[in-house]
């Protein structure tokens, strides 16, 4: 396994009255095992295409020429929001945590909003002659993405002339006659098909996540291998054997049912997992937030949120499940020389310690402090973070989410409530005319 | 007023059973008015120094030479976490939302964590000869900041020689003989005093927030003017007149008491307020999360989180208060020409509309949809976003938080629960030796 799933400090035996009783957990697990078996059959009958992605390789080969073309640009701008953006951002952060892209890779920009002030910056700061744009919308009708694209096309035409625009464009959308596809066909750029059977928030292992990842210089096959390392054991598991995602779903739902834990905090102690937390937030919220159900996901960052949220987590309402992702950073980074402390006794604890030592000590101390204060806490431990481990973490949480939805008897794959706001937006826009 | 506080859709009269009853609100407001009066007396007797900052100007003049010196560098790195970082990041985002600094300003980097992988990037990517470092820690004993500083000093010495390091350093800490001050004195760089009476999460209007702001090219006096525009009416208000922050605190606490709304979502439809949401998150969580009390703050972003969280917000548990910050962006940005739509009827609603039109329509539609689905929703409306408006928003939420703490009978200014984890971190580090 590429990660360890430690759940002891979820239980009341270890942390007291706010913890989960073994009985409630087992009751939930009994329901989760058929849900796990359901994933197995959906893999077999092909009704959930995302389950076939970990083993696929042909599509990656087909992506390669597009990746090579886009890597010639200085900037690649992804136009898209939600599931069209978060998977790519999550993966790209493996190679760029804010200090710029890996050598030879373009800078990736994820434009997931329609703030005109931000767009004005984009259009004046980037040299459009050296910039490619990748609009992504599964339905092809996302108002934000279409509006972004119209603005970009206008700017590209003004700068480069109409004939050149197609070279700067790669469009991803469903193979249907939708608005985005029609625009792309008119402009003339390349178009790639978004799998109609893979919803946005589950699309990270498809070209939606992997194209940006490959542009960033990552090994897409390794990401899928990592995903397979979590999926395959689940597919091979007997009817009575819960794998880690199944256990995770059961404990999360049981804790909500038994103790009213309405919030689930994902707190990686790994800077490169900052977007992973945002990706999880969408996955969990949109998949489960239905019929009055669904715990509220929160992305926290260790150690940063020890200085922002920990007071609340420890001494506020006991309504949260904590999931800490901890990387073994022991010994990493420059060690503080004892001489540098200049005999300051208050700092002796730092002598011969490095940033990595401190990060790991803080992570472990926070996990222990949460448990000591009776807060249900689990840890996902990883030795390092690379494409394979990232793939494993992504698959863990996709499976956990699907099984949790089954336990709550909601459809993990729709999002019916947001339609009303979209209709109203159009009405308001029409009224503005 | 630099913003409008619209609260109609908080009440059950407007949104039904999940809304707040007028009676519960008035009961809470009755308690909030003495809390408001308490702020007035704390301003008068000087016992809450942050209340004197909006009117102060002398300290800004004293900061100027330091700002000018640091603006000679290509990069300025703030070392600090929590309250030492979030205020500065919030303000700096006014001038840099990711596309780089304003003309003539250095690039600001806020290093608020101790991930060794991130630090390795920092030290290899930035030209240290052109980089200044600003360690900020009120107590002077924050383990993360001290460790960061030791690592940086070692790298600077190796690169530039010991004699040059002082030129690259500006330290901010309390005027006490603490570890950080001792290091700064030994190295020889300039040291500025952190006001001992202004806690980290309330320090944005002090040099902690304003020094980075000034380096970024912002008008610090205008930020304070904006803050004064909210504080002054509160100080001038009669005993029976609630100002906006007082109303906000009362409705938030009353909604929690009456309807169990345990989560408070701040959702700006302004990209440049992304860090503002994180700043608020610390302010609210650390100030109120005590004795089992405290609602959990969530930073959301419009429109982005319409594609990530809105399904949960609309159809999940009705346990949230929504605060939308909406800027009047009507007409901003390139308009989509009707001809560009190429007769696609499904897109007619976008004809002659701009990014700003769409953003505003989405914001208003989301506010209306939340209310229609019975979710308590208030809006803070601003016409534009500049230093003065930012100062007003900061002061609004600081006052709202202080009054909410009064209503919950908790101390807004301490954070006792986090001490245990710090002790344990030291123990673990010692054990690693």
Domain boundary among A164, A191, A216: A216
**Does B303 sit behind a cis peptide bond, omega within 30 degrees of 0 on the bond before it?**
yes
Is A362 a residue of the active site?
no
How many C-beta atoms lie closer than 10 Å to residue A361's C-beta?
Answer: 26
Catalytic residue ranges of B: 286, 307, 422
State the pLDDT confidence band at A414, using cuts at 50, 70 and 90: very high
Residue A431 scores a pLDDT above 90:
no
Interface test with A, best of B355, B383, B389, B414 (most A CBs within 10 A): B355
Longest dimension (CA), chain A: 72
Chain A positions touching B257 (Cβ under 8 A) are none
ipTM, 2 decimals?
A: 0.97
In this structure, the answer to whether residues B238 and B173 fall within a common structural domain is: no
Residue B53, in any domain of the structure: no
Chain B positions touching A257 (Cβ under 8 A) are none
A320: helix, coil or strand? strand
Domain boundary among A216, A237, A272: A216
Query: B428–A365: do the CB atoms touch at under 8 Å?
Result: yes
State the pLDDT confidence band at B349, using cuts at 50, 70 and 90: very high
In this structure, the answer to whether residues A88 and A198 fall within a common structural domain is: yes
Residue B354 scores a pLDDT above 60:
yes
CA separation for the pair B272, B266 (Å, rounded)? 14
- Mean confidence (pLDDT) of chain A: 97
State the pLDDT confidence band at A90, using cuts at 50, 70 and 90: very high
* Percent of chain A whose pLDDT exceeds 90: 99
Angle between helices B220-236 and B207-215 (to 10 degrees): 140
Q: Read off the DSSP letter of residue A97.
A: S
State the count of interchain CB pairs (< 8 A) between A and B.
Answer: 395
A188: helix, coil or strand? coil
Residue A268, in any domain of the structure: yes
In this structure, the answer to whether residues B180 and B269 fall within a common structural domain is: no
State the pLDDT confidence band at B412, using cuts at 50, 70 and 90: very high
- Which residue from A316, A342, A347 is facing B146, i.e. has the nearest CB? A347
Cβ-based neighbours of B289, under 8 Å, separated by 6 or more? A309, A311, A312, A313, A314, A315, A316, B417
Residue A138, in any domain of the structure: yes
Chain B (377-406) residues lying within 8 Å, Cβ to Cβ, of chain A: 385
pLDDT of residue B56: 97
pLDDT of residue A178: 97
Longest dimension (CA), chain B: 72
Q: Rounded to a whole number, what is the distance in angstroms from the first to the last CA of chain A?
A: 58
pLDDT of residue B431: 83
- Which residue from A99, A141, A427 is facing B346, i.e. has the nearest CB? A141
Interface test with A, best of B181, B291, B316 (most A CBs within 10 A): B316
In this structure, the answer to whether residues A177 and A258 fall within a common structural domain is: no
Residue B378 Ramachandran class (φ > 0 left, ψ -120 to 50 alpha, else beta): beta
Residue B60, in any domain of the structure: no
Residues found in chain A: 433
Taking CA B301 as the corner, what is the angle to CA B298 and CA B303, rounded to the nearest 5 degrees?
140
State the pLDDT confidence band at A185, using cuts at 50, 70 and 90: very high
In this structure, the answer to whether residues B204 and B231 fall within a common structural domain is: no
Residue B433 scores a pLDDT above 60:
no
- Mean confidence (pLDDT) of chain B: 97
In this structure, the answer to whether residues A181 and A230 fall within a common structural domain is: no
Residue B421, in any domain of the structure: no
Mean pLDDT of A177-196: 96
Residue A212 scores a pLDDT above 60:
yes
* Percent of chain B whose pLDDT exceeds 70: 100
- Domain total for chain B? 2
In this structure, the answer to whether residues A191 and A243 fall within a common structural domain is: no
Cross-sheet strand order for the sheet of A377-382: A4-6, A377-382, A320-327, A263-268, A296-299
In this structure, the answer to whether residues B167 and B244 fall within a common structural domain is: no
In this structure, the answer to whether residues A208 and A229 fall within a common structural domain is: no
- Which residue from A285, A349, A420 is facing B312, i.e. has the nearest CB? A285
In this structure, the answer to whether residues A382 and A412 fall within a common structural domain is: yes
State the pLDDT confidence band at B430, using cuts at 50, 70 and 90: confident
Residue B20, in any domain of the structure: yes
Residue A430 scores a pLDDT above 90:
no
At A263, which CATH number? 3.40.50.10490
Residue A89, in any domain of the structure: yes
Residue B424, in any domain of the structure: no
CA separation for the pair B55, B62 (Å, rounded)? 15
Domain boundary among B164, B195, B216: B216
CA separation for the pair A95, A93 (Å, rounded)? 5
Residue A175 structural domain: 72-216
Chain A (251-310) residues lying within 8 Å, Cβ to Cβ, of chain B: 262-263, 269-272, 278, 281-282, 285-286, 288-294, 296, 298, 301, 303-304, 306-310
Kindly state whether A315 is in contact with chain B, defined as any CB-CB distance less than 8 angstroms.
yes
A266: helix, coil or strand? strand
In this structure, the answer to whether residues B237 and B207 fall within a common structural domain is: no
In this structure, the answer to whether residues A231 and A211 fall within a common structural domain is: no
């Amino acid at each position: 396994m590429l990660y360890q799933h430690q759940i002891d400090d979820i239980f009341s035996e270890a942390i007291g009255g706010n913890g989960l009783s073994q009985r409630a957990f087992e009751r939930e697990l009994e329901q989760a095992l058929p849900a796990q078996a359901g994933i197995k059959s959906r893999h077999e009958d092909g009704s959930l295409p995302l389950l076939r992605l970990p083993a696929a390789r042909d599509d990656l080969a087909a992506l390669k020429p597009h990746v090579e073309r886009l890597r010639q640009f200085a900037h690649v701008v992804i136009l898209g929001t939600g599931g069209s953006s978060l998977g790519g951002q999550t993966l790209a952060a493996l190679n760029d945590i804010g200090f710029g892209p890996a050598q030879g890779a373009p800078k990736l920009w994820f434009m997931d909003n329609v703030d005109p002030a931000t767009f004005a910056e984009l259009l004046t700061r980037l040299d459009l002659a050296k910039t490619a744009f990748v609009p992504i919308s599964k339905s092809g009708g996302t108002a934000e993405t279409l509006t972004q694209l119209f603005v970009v096309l206008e700017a590209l035409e003004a700068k480069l002339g109409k004939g050149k625009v197609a070279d700067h464009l790669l469009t991803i959308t469903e193979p249907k006659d939708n608005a985005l596809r029609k625009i792309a066909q008119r402009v003339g750029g390349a178009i790639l098909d978004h799998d109609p059977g893979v919803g946005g928030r589950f699309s990270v292992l498809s070209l939606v996540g992997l194209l940006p990842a490959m542009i960033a210089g990552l090994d897409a096959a390794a990401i899928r291998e990592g995903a397979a390392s979590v999926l395959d054991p689940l597919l091979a598991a007997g009817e009575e054997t819960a794998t880690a995602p199944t256990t995770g779903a059961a404990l999360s739902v049981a804790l909500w049912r038994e103790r009213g834990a309405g919030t689930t905090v994902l707190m990686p102690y790994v800077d490169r997992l900052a977007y992973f937390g945002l990706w999880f937030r969408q996955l969990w919220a949109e998949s489960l937030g239905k019929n009055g159900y669904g715990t509220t996901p929160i992305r926290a960052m260790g150690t940063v949120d020890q200085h922002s949220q920990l007071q609340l987590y420890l001494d506020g309402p006991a309504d949260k499940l904590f999931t800490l992702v901890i990387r073994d950073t022991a010994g990493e980074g420059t060690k503080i020389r004892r001489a540098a402390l200049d005999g300051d006794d208050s700092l002796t604890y730092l002598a011969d310690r490095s940033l990595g030592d401190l990060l790991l000590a803080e992570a472990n101390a926070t996990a222990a402090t949460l448990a000591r204060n009776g807060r249900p806490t689990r840890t996902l431990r990883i030795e390092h973070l690379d494409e394979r481990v990232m793939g494993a973490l992504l698959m863990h949480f996709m499976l956990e989410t699907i099984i949790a939805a089954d336990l709550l008897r909601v459809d993990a794959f729709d999002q019916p409530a947001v339609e009303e706001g979209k209709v109203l937006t159009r009405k308001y826009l029409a009224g503005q005319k």
